[in-house]
């Protein structure tokens, strides 16, 4: 069975983006990138989805298993997951007709580093 994985660039402190907010002044580009990431997690449903995937024993979750817990249709859940993938917080792997999502732990660590005072 063929699979495809979408991996986007990670938000990292080392690539020039997003030094801790209490450190040096943030460039306009870094602020734009950080704002996109924060917008992605500023939605309660997306936060819940991120939490459910991160908490799953297998380290991943199928979109088919995420619809009932959040009480939304599959297309709506897929849209929320797409936003998280585009923000670099999740990876997506297609297996047959279903998509499986996993948390990009490095992206969460980089986000935490930005929000942690020096």
Q: What is the CATH number of the domain that holds 47?
A: 1.10.10.10
pLDDT in tens, 75-102: 999 999 999 999 999 999 999 999 999 9
Tokens of 44: 């309660």
Distance CA 70, CA 26 (A): 36
Contact 88, 104 (CB under 8 A): yes
Residue 21: helix, strand or coil by DSSP? coil
Going by C-alpha positions, the residue among 60, 70, 47 that lies closest to residue 94 is 60
Task: Count other C-beta atoms under 10 Å from residue 33's C-beta.
Answer: 20
Identify the domain containing residue 101 by its residue range: 3-9+27-115
pLDDT in tens, 5-26: 444 444 443 344 555 666 678 8
Residues in the chain: 118
Using a cut of 0.85, tell me whether the model's pTM lies above it.
no
Question: Would residue 91 count as lying in a domain?
Answer: yes
């Amino acid at each position: 069975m063929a699979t495809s994985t979408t991996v986007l660039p990670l938000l990292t402190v080392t690539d020039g983006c997003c030094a801790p907010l209490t450190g040096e002044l943030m460039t306009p580009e870094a602020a734009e990138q950080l704002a996109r990431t924060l917008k992605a997690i500023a939605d309660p449903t997306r936060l819940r989805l991120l939490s459910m995937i991160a908490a799953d024993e297998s380290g991943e979750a199928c979109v088919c298993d995420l619809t009932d817990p959040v009480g939304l249709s599959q297309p709506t859940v897929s849209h929320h997951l797409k936003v998280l993938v585009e923000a670099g917080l999740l990876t997506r792997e297609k297996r047959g007709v279903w998509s499986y999502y996993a948390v990009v732990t490095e992206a969460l660590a980089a986000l935490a580093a930005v929000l942690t005072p020096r």
